[in-house]
Structure 1
């Protein structure tokens, strides 16, 4: 009967894949580089094929390594989750990694974290950019984030909790406030939008291209402050989520899109993990915030409320 891979071997493999170096993996794991290298070699010997290509530049996964990485990550995470589940104090004095993007990071995340800190002051929260790579969903899937704020709607295997709906608006200079906003208006000038390469913006680009004519100028701008400054200088009309615009500059005004679009914002975690003490504490803080006048004010700002069935899911 073939021996099973040990947890130490799988940890070494996962860390080496994440860092691209046995030396860096050793630092992450608190081991010597030779120990990490030997653990990976033992794993390769066990399965009769290399998991990494080795070169003076570092290491890269082989096809076999790429196929096995996801399952090795699951084993390592389940081992860590077991420790957190049976030792609540450790979990609530450890760390929580949250992926978010700017508009939610400014308007929604801070009050939730404030409640979380008051309840669990020893829990350290790390914030990472939720637009990295394929977005917050992938960061959670890869184990780089425990929870992600993201735009919901697309099918996912993650456990999700809707929080609030946010309308998209057109942002113009205030001098144009009385002029009607139509599809023709959108087609007649450059449109400034966030990059389509970021997962949270894909829905907007699909929506715009459903009614824009070929040849309409669409300029992608990564920074919202740059985008709004361009609007102030009459370099185009910005199409943005309302939360990304607020607080609104005095020189600008915003109008509903002639073809309406909204996004449902919420949080996502891996199935089975919301019951872990630190993630349960986060969800409880989020739910507590949703009962406050401040959250009601936020809903009023975005001009929409979560659908009834989504609100029920949060109770």
Structure 2
């Protein structure tokens, strides 16, 4: 029977790829740098191809390493899931990794995690920024996150659960005229938008382009607090999700978009993992929070803000 890669070797390869160095990978794995390097070299010898380019500045993946990394990640992930499924105590005293973005992280995640901690005090939670790179969906697909809060779309291989409905609004100074906001009024000032390179923001850019002229002045701002301060100082109108505007500043007001853009926010989990103890505990805490008066108040705010 031909030799096959071991889990130790695959873990060393994944840790080295994600950390960019054998030394940092060794710290993550609790091994010596030489052990990590030897494990990777054994993989390379087994398959007759280098997985890393080595230089004094560190290591980078070769094309073969790039192709192999997602598969190695999944193999390690499935092995860990097997252990978690067998040993519930280990799962509930381990780490749950949640990808989210700011508005959900501020308004939804903390009360859910508070319930989770009361029920399972040994379970640690790690938070990842779900707006970076390819977003929370890819983090779940790769096994880097257990669950992601995100804007749900119809096209995803992940299992999803809607949590709350939201929509995009135009944020104006309180001195702005009352009444419905028209497309002509919207283009009278610069539009302040989140950067469209983030997947969750590209949708609103496309939506605005569908009914506003192509020469519309747009300024991209990464931080919502900066964007809101610019609106207060008359530097433009911001298009943001209602949830990101809460609590509404005293000097600001919101209008619906001339052409509405609703969104459904929820969680996404990889198929086959929903029964794992730590993920089951998280979804139970989520459902418990949705049954509270606090969640009902948040829903009411989104309808009236």
User: Structure 1 length normalisation: TM-score?
Assistant: 0.93
Assess if the C-alpha contact under 8 Å between 1:12 and 1:39 holds in 2.
yes
Assess if the C-alpha contact under 8 Å between 1:167 and 1:303 holds in 2.
no
Assess if the C-alpha contact under 8 Å between 2:180 and 2:255 holds in 1.
no
Assess if the C-alpha contact under 8 Å between 2:191 and 2:239 holds in 1.
yes
- Residues 89-168 of structure 1: matches in 2 within 5 Å? 89-168=89-168
1:36 — aligned with what? 36
In structure 1, distance between residues paired with 2:47 and 2:299: 54
Assess if the C-alpha contact under 8 Å between 2:180 and 2:256 holds in 1.
no
1:180 — aligned with what? 180
In structure 1, distance between residues paired with 2:115 and 2:293: 14
**1:267 and 2:278 equivalent?**
no
* 2:265 partner SS: strand
CA RMSD of the aligned region, Å?
1.3
In structure 2, distance between residues paired with 1:121 and 1:26: 29
In structure 1, distance between residues paired with 2:170 and 2:68: 46
Assess if the C-alpha contact under 8 Å between 2:50 and 2:64 holds in 1.
yes
Assess if the C-alpha contact under 8 Å between 1:159 and 1:270 holds in 2.
yes
**1:48 and 2:48 equivalent?**
yes
**1:65 and 2:65 equivalent?**
yes
* 1:96 partner SS: strand
Q: Which runs of 4+ in 1 moved over 6 A?
A: none
User: Structure 2 length normalisation: TM-score?
Assistant: 0.96
Unaligned runs of 5+ in 2: none
**1:289 and 2:289 equivalent?**
yes
Aligned residues: 304
In structure 2, distance between residues paired with 1:179 and 1:216: 22
**1:16 and 2:16 equivalent?**
yes
- Residues 80-95 of structure 1: matches in 2 within 5 Å? 80-95=80-95
In structure 2, distance between residues paired with 1:101 and 1:246: 15
